[in-house]
Amino acid sequence: MFIGARSEVKNSFCSNDFKHKCKSWEWAEPELCDRAKKIIPGLLDNIKEKDEEIKSLTMRMKHSQRKRTAAPFLCGLGLGFLLHIAMYVFMM
């Protein structure tokens, strides 16, 4: 550390550590009110649930897109095979 250098101010929030149990330095943010202590964990849980829902829906969307791109290819392949067999039969 340099004398006169500005230190970076960081604040943190952890759902199970409201009082910042570390006593080695002074925290810059004030103590949370009781209402915030009740509301913020619920909001964090909602965010986690929505993130999981987004991941799930993204996976489902990717899976359904693969199905949609594979079906026309397989239909075209099958139709091409049938035409090939038909031409072989009629040319004989």
pTM of structure: 0.42
Is 8 part of a structural domain of the chain?
A: no
Is 66 part of a structural domain of the chain?
A: yes
* Total domains, the chain: 1
Is 51 part of a structural domain of the chain?
A: yes
Report yes or no: 29 and 11 within 8 Å, Cβ to Cβ.
Answer: yes
Higher pLDDT, 59 or 69: 59
Domain span at 86: 33-91
Taking the C-alpha atoms of residue 48 and residue 50, their distance in angstroms, rounded to an integer, is: 5
Distances in Å between the Cα of 77 and the Cα atoms of 23, 71, 91 are: 70, 10, 21
Is 44 part of a structural domain of the chain?
A: yes
Is 41 part of a structural domain of the chain?
A: yes
Position 46 scores a pLDDT of 94
Is 17 part of a structural domain of the chain?
A: no
Is 87 part of a structural domain of the chain?
A: yes
Q: pLDDT by residue (tens digit) across 6-60?
A: 766 665 555 555 555 555 556 667 788 899 989 999 999 999 999 999 999 999 9
